Amino acid sequence: MKYILLLQSIFLFNIVFGQCSFGGAQVNAGTLTPTAGYQTVSGVSNGQYFTINAVCGSVYNFTFCSNGGNASWDTQITVLASNGTTSLAYNDDNCGLQSNVSYTATNSGTIYVLITEYYCNFDGTFTGATLAYNATPGSFDASFTMTPTSCGTANATVTGNTGGTFSFNPAPGDGAVINPTTGQITNGTAGTTYTVQYTVGCSTSSTQNVTLPVGGNASFTIAPSCGGATSTITGDSGGVFSFNPAPGDGAQINSTTGLVSNATAGNTYTVQYSICGVSTTQNVTVLNDNCFNLNGNAQYITVAGEQCIQLTAEVNNQTGCSWNTNTVDFAQGFTLTLDYYFGNNIGGADGNTFTFQPSSSSACGQDGGQLGAGGLSNALSIEFDTYDNDYPTHLYDTGCDHIAVEIDGNMLGPGAPYAGPVCAKSGGGNIDDGGTYEVMIEWDPASYTLRVYFDGALRLTTTGDFVNTVFGGQSEVYWGATSATGGLNNQQYFCPSSVTVLPAELGEFQALCDGNEEEISWTTHSEYRTDHFEVEYSIDGYTYYTLDVVEAAHYSQNDRHYSIEVPEGLEAALFRLKTVDEDGATDFSPVIARKQCLSDGLIQNQYTLNGISTFEFSTACQAKLIDQMGRVVQEAASFETTLQLTENNARGFYILQVMSIDGKTESRRIYH
């Protein structure tokens, strides 16, 4: 118990007597005038204090340890502000029982040097000590230089004391900013002179003028990207990007990076980059259809001249996910179609999924038998599995490469899937045989029916209120493809541009123009138990929505003609006709492109003959055909009134950009 009390006492003394202050019994022993050489004052008692007129920046030393200072009793030295209570410096027992203090004055004015005996005792009973003291004059150097680094920036270099503060003096009114620590000027104005002040200790300061140069290199490039465009500065950095003129469609541009976002597909934007009083502009036509967010090991590849998305390479333990930037709405009927390649390594692994999920376009699941979709929450996955994971039990897999529907986020059981499994091919066998297979998913919201077609054949049908039982009540969800490998592997990819490969204006299902009005027209030569027709449209070539339902004749041996009007303002690029018989069986027409009917713009008409698309212009124009990667794949050599697309251009979506002789421009997203 005694030891505990002793420790507590020491602890309390260290806190209470860590420094000393005036307590009412102190005695003024006079004024000291320190010089550079040490002086001494003898006969010092505890409780005495000395007055000093301190000069800011000077270093004051007080000691009983050396330079003639000594004492026979346990001394303490406290340097106090003129109020006698604020401690500026303190020391006890620097050399044995004696004290030594060094204090640098931060202001000019009176300070007190209080001498006490241990425990801050100033009762005057300890005498005869000799205090040595001196002062070294302070020296503060606020010198620095300023150097312009561009027409909007300048840097400071300190040549004197570091640790000071930079500021403008006077402050400019143009928005220029100075870093108080480094002195760097940013956001300055070309040709403007700024006065910069640098302040160090004791308010020592100096100023420098710097004039920012006029003129600069404002060159840059810009390339379209999904939903916007990306700028690259090739001249001087530090300038400002802007639209010129400003668009009215909600598109935004980052003034620092030039990133264009929230843009409208097919629109052309003029981007301006300005620096040092010099500006340049670039036009960019934006795409945001057919775009995918790639995650995991997914990457773009080129297959037979087409842009495809490889989900996994022929490497073990890979996971790839690719989500379309457009959501799909389960409140409407739709069909989705992609061409898949499952690899050419029979006995490899693991397969792909066609997945819908409401959470994120950056999601990616687990590898191996989870096919890149395992672990995704609230997900509806149609799996195309190329490996038998539960041989010989076959609770959730089969011996053939198979199709199943999963909603629990687990492609590996432990029980049977929500629907299936069924063999992908009607006769069984492998799908990782080097072939490319068309996969189509069809959704009917009225009957909650999901149908899965593989290579043109209906392979699996199931029902469910997936919006409420899987997606948490959210009808618009992300859709995409996932894939994985494990201890075995396969190259696995899909090709978005391979979805719609047939040319427009085919046969008796066609788009027609009546002036500015567009019609969809079709003819049947005979009908047998035909219930109705559904005209479907698509924006991106993957998702199809119902535009109109037309009652069929049911039975007919004569030519019958049908047509509907396309509503004004409909955002569509493609159409197809779905024929439904009385038993619910369906058949689809070839896909046709939208008719560009007569308008007041430069691009007036499009027609296709034998697979060759021709565009007619209202006046002589120079035309460019731009693919989805922003590359110019065809360009007219001169101003013409028509443009005929070459046969070697891959089928898919393009931007047609034209400019008339008088400089008028127009862009339109087309399907060729």
294-324 tens-digit pLDDT: 889 988 887 776 668 899 999 999 999 988 8
Q: Is the pLDDT of residue 550 over 60?
A: yes
Say which range, 24-33, 46-55, 490-499, 570-579, has the weakest mean pLDDT: 490-499
Q: Has residue 13 got a pLDDT over 50? A: no
Please compute the mean of the pLDDT values over residues 472-499 and round it to a whole number: 84
Collapse the DSSP code of 628 into the 3-class scheme (helix H, G, I; strand E, B; otherwise coil) and give the result: coil
Confidence of residue 10 (pLDDT cuts 50, 70, 90): very low
Q: Is the CB of residue 156 less than 8 Å from the CB of residue 198?
A: yes
Helix, strand, or coil (residue 391):
coil
Per cent of the chain over pLDDT 70 is 88
CA 657/CA 645 separation, integer angstroms: 13
Confidence of residue 127 (pLDDT cuts 50, 70, 90): very high
pLDDT bracket for residue 504 (50, 70, 90): very low
Across residues 144-153, what is the average pLDDT? 89
CA-closest candidate to residue 542, choices 226, 328, 266, 263:
328
User: For the segment 162-203, what is each residue's pLDDT rounded down to a tens digit?
Assistant: 999 999 999 999 989 999 999 999 988 888 999 999 999 898
Residues 6 or more apart whose Cβ sits within 8 Å of residue 658: 602, 603, 617, 621, 622, 623, 624, 643, 665, 666, 667
Beta strands across the sheet bearing 205-211:
165-168, 193-199, 205-211
Residue 55 burial (CB < 10 Å; 0-12/13-18/19+)? middle
Strands (E), 45-136: 48-54, 59-63, 75-81, 87-92, 100-104, 109-117, 129-136
pLDDT-based confidence at residue 574 (cuts at 50, 70, 90): confident
pLDDT digits (tens, 9 = 90+) for 254-308: 898 898 877 776 788 999 998 887 889 998 887 655 578 888 998 888 777 666 8
The alpha carbon torsion through 501, 504, 505, 510 (nearest 10 deg) reads 100
| CB of 367 closer than 8 Å to CB of 378 | no
Measure the CA–CA gap between 266 and 446, rounded to whole angstroms. Answer: 34
Place of tokens 């916007």: 228
* Residue 318 CB coordination number (10 Å): 25
Q: Which H or E run contains 10?
A: helix 2-16
pLDDT of residue 289: 52
Contact present, 210 and 191 (Cβ < 8 Å): no
Residue 162: is it exposed, middle or buried by C-beta count within 10 angstroms (0-12/13-18/19+)?
exposed
pLDDT at 623 over 80: yes
Residue percentage of the chain with pLDDT more than 90: 37
pLDDT of residue 503: 23
Q: Read off the pLDDT of each residue in 486-497 and give the average, rounded to a whole number.
A: 83
What average pLDDT does range 447-457 have in this prediction? Answer: 90
CA distance 661 to 136: 82
What's the sign of the alpha-carbon dihedral 342, 346, 351, 354? positive
In this structure, the number of other CB atoms found within 10 A of the CB of residue 329 comes to: 16
**What is the pLDDT, as a whole number, of residue 508?**
67
Cis peptide leading into 34, omega within 30 of 0? no
The pLDDT tens digits for 49-99 are 999 999 999 999 999 999 999 999 999 999 999 988 899 999 999 999 999
Q: What pLDDT score does 58 carry?
A: 94
Q: What's the average model confidence in pLDDT over 204-214?
A: 92
Q: What tokens appear for 28 in the block? A: 């003024």
- Asked whether the predicted pLDDT for residue 664 surpasses 80, the reply is no
The answer, yes or no, to whether residue 23 has pLDDT greater than 90, is: no
Q: How many CB atoms lie within 10 A of CB 404?
A: 24
Residue-wise pLDDT tens digits, 578-597: 888 877 777 777 777 766 66
Length of the chain, in residues: 672
Whether the pLDDT of residue 498 is over 70: the answer is no
